[in-house]
Amino acid sequence: MDKLLIVGGTPLSGEVAMSGAKNAALPILCAALLSTEPLHLTNVPHLNDISTMLRLLGDMGVKVTMDGIDGMILDASGLNNPQASYEMVKTMRASILVLGPLVARCGEARVSLPGGCAIGARPVEQHIKGLQAMGAEITVEQGYVLAKARRLKGARICTDMVTVTGTENLMMAACLADGETIIENAAREPEVVDLANCLVSMGARISGAGTDKIRIQGVEKLHGATYAIMPDRIETGTYLCAAAVTGGNVRLTKTSAAYLDTVVDKLLDAGCDITVERDAIRLIAPPRLKAVSLRTAPYPAFPTDMQAQFMAMNCIAEGVATIRETIFENRFMHVNELMRLGANIQIEGNNALVRGIDHLEGATVMATDLRASASLVIAGLVARGETLIDRIYHLDRGYERIEEKLEKLGAQVKRVH
Ligand code: EPU
């Protein structure tokens, strides 16, 4: 199992390009299932989660052809096996995103239920209820969701909570349904908008993506298209935090601050100097960061996927920060690991109180999930001495060539096999 060895203390400086967004690419790969014509994608990040999704689509009969460094063509004309096995879904929960497209296109699907997850229970009943509202007959047998529908019917759906992949699954299914579907309480995340834009380029009729009410007029079929995946706002935010915590001066290219308002605001509050360009962001860190409190909530509020990284930053900031996690019930697993580096953090329920200290000391720590791992990298970059991060397969799921990008910014990072 690979580990990451970091020697802390070097301020990050220089320029590095950001990759395409994992959480936009995953649903967009599934959108290829909706058409018999090829979907040509660019700016697809090289990540383990993307490879897993491509394997899953391949098992269903989708032909995948790589095209250049970050492009690929997905041809679902030979789709003949509308199934997602437990083996696949258990390694990546986003596999549930095939459910909506499969029922819509094939009239049937057999998709494993994801089961529990390190950061929370993460059930998918909203995906199922929405499809039932569109007329799908759904049973759960031996851990598998079996869905059938001759043709889905447009419906009015109001989800009980804001769910990102739930909204995406239902929006994709509704594209081929008979009539109009309205999704209320829809997720407004930029990745939902990116998926909607891709679907529209395939001929879907969608309005309101990016608001909490999305309208989809079903069409008979979707056609092929070419689409570029949006930049990864969470990768961008993570590198901004890494630069901030090390007293760095970096310019991140091929990205945009457009979807990072709350993150940029908090970095400004922490004392960073930020310049926003059209396709780039520059950050210059202050001599010492100020503590910043935050509360996670669905977009446009502060993203849960940036909570752990800000926690790491607060560990060595001046002052005390309170961090409240409202999306997932178990997303503080990085806390004990940060405390192994000397951090002063107290947890009470879904609140964490972080008292800034002068410095962290390197140690061996264990990555527990993707964003928790990112927070350990950030902490390691500023800790004195060596930090060895175990189980970095979590990082490889969501950060493309992380050690290479950090090295480009001057960090002392090595992958240990
Ligand atoms: N929920 C339910 N029932 C459902 C659906 C969701 O109770 O049917 C609950 C969840 O348990 C959670 C909350 O609703 O408490 C929100 O979950 P959501 O469905 O929005 O999460 P998700 O779609 O499974 C996506 C991202 C996550 C990100 C969350 C929140 C993808 C592939 N994943 O997950 O990304 O944290 O939205 O923004 O888009 C990551 O990249 O590290 C990651 C975990």
Quick check: 155 pLDDT over 80? yes
365-374 pLDDT tens trace: 998 899 999 9
Q: Alpha-carbon Rg of the chain, whole angstroms?
A: 21
Alpha carbons 267 and 285: distance in angstroms, whole number: 9
Active site residue 117: yes
Atom of ligand 1 nearest to the CA of 128: 8
- Angle subtended at Cα 255 by Cα 47 and Cα 266, rounded to the nearest 5 degrees: 100
State the first-to-last Cα distance of the chain, in angstroms, to the nearest integer: 6
Neighbours of 226 (CB within 10 A): 13
What element of type H or E holds 276?
strand 273-276
Nearest CA to ligand 1 atom 6: 163
Q: Measure 405 CA to ligand 1 centroid, in angstroms.
A: 27
pLDDT (mean) for 393-413: 96
pLDDT of 120? 79
Question: 249 alpha carbon to ligand 1 midpoint, in Å?
Answer: 33
The one-letter amino acid at 279: D
Average pLDDT score over the chain: 97
The single residue of 117, 158, 241, 315 carrying the catalytic annotation is 117
Asked if 267 contacts 240 with a C-beta cutoff of 8 angstroms, the reply is yes
Banded model confidence at residue 84, pLDDT cuts 50, 70, 90: very high
No. of H helices and E strands in the chain? Answer: 14, 24
Sheet arrangement for strand 71-75:
63-67, 71-75, 39-42, 225-228
Tell me which of 49, 91, 122, 138 to substitute to probe ligand 1's pocket, judged by most ligand atoms within 8 Å of the beta carbon: 122
**Residue 356, pLDDT above cutoff 80:** yes
Query: According to the model, what pLDDT value does residue 118 have?
Result: 80
Q: Is 220 exposed, middle or buried (0-12, 13-18, 19+ CB in 10 A)?
A: exposed
Q: What is the 167 CA–ligand 1 centroid distance (Å)?
A: 10
Q: Which amino acid is at 160?
A: D
The Cα 39–Cα 63 span in angstroms is 11
Quote the CA–CA distance of 21 and 290 in Å, as a whole number: 29
Of the candidate ranges 2-11, 32-41, 89-98, 116-125, the one whose mean pLDDT is the lowest? 116-125
Dist CA 221 CA 281 (whole Å): 40
Q: Is the pLDDT of residue 9 over 80?
A: yes
% of the chain exceeding 70 in pLDDT:
100
Alpha carbon separation from 195 to 26, 101, 114, 260, 341 (Å, rounded): 9, 13, 22, 18, 39
Strands 386-390 and 412-416: unpaired
* 239-251 confidence digits (pLDDT tens): 999 999 999 999 9
Residue 212 sits at φ, ψ, to 5 deg, of: -90, 10
Ligand 1: which of 164, 183, 400 to mutate, most ligand atoms within 8 Å of CB?
164
Q: What is the pLDDT of residues 173-206, one digit of tens each?
A: 999 999 999 999 999 999 999 999 999 999 999 9
Which of 392, 356, 355 lies closest to 373 in space, CA to CA? 392
Q: ω before 300 within 30° of 0 (cis)?
A: yes
Residue 73 pLDDT > 80, yes or no?
yes
In this model, does residue 294 exceed pLDDT 90? yes
Calpha distance 186→196 (Å, rounded): 12
Token representation of residue 310 = 């800000």
Across the chain, which distance is largest between two alpha carbons, in Å? 64
Measured CA to CA, the distance from residue 308 to residue 259 in angstroms comes to: 18
Which ligand 1 atom sits closest to the C-alpha of 305?
36
Evaluate if residue 330 carries a pLDDT over 80. Answer: yes
List, as one string, the DSSP characters of 385-402.
SEEEEE-THHHHHHSTTH
What b/e readout covers 268-290, taking b as 16+ CB neighbours within 10 angstroms?
Answer: eebbbebeeeeebbbbbbeeebe
Sequence-ordered list of residues with C-beta below 8 angstroms from that of 16, at least 6 positions apart, any chain: 239, 250, 252, 253, 405, 408, 409
Report yes or no: 263 and 240 within 8 Å, Cβ to Cβ: yes
Average pLDDT (91-114) is 96
What tokens appear for 14 in the block? 């220089």
Under 8 Å between Cβ of 33 and 60: yes
Residue with CA at minimum distance from ligand 1 atom 5: 124
Residue 239 near residue 15, CB atoms below 8 Å: no
Q: Could you tell me how far CA 348 lies from the centroid of its own chain? A: 26
Taking the centre of ligand 1 as the mean of its atom positions, its distance from the CA of residue 122, in whole angstroms, is 7
In the predicted model, is pLDDT for residue 26 greater than 80?
yes
Residue 1 reports pLDDT greater than 90:
no
* Among 56, 51, 40, residue whose Cα is nearest residue 95: 56
Which residues are near ligand 1 (CB < 6 Å)? 23, 26, 94, 120-127, 161, 163-166, 304-305, 327-328, 370-371, 398
The DSSP H or E segment spanning 265 is: helix 261-269
113 pLDDT higher than 80: yes
How much is the pLDDT for 122? 86
pLDDT at 55: 96
Ligand 1, atom 25, lies closest to the CA of 164
Closest-lying ligand 1 atom to the alpha carbon of residue 189: 38
Q: Candidates 26, 95, 161: which one to mutate for ligand 1, based on the most atoms within 8 Å of Cβ?
A: 161
- C-alpha 106 – ligand 1 centre gap (Å): 26
pLDDT reported for residue 117: 76
* Mean predicted confidence (pLDDT) in 350-359: 98
What pLDDT, on a 0 to 100 scale, did the predictor assign at position 96?
96
Overall average pLDDT of the 206-210 stretch: 98
Mean pLDDT of 7-32: 98
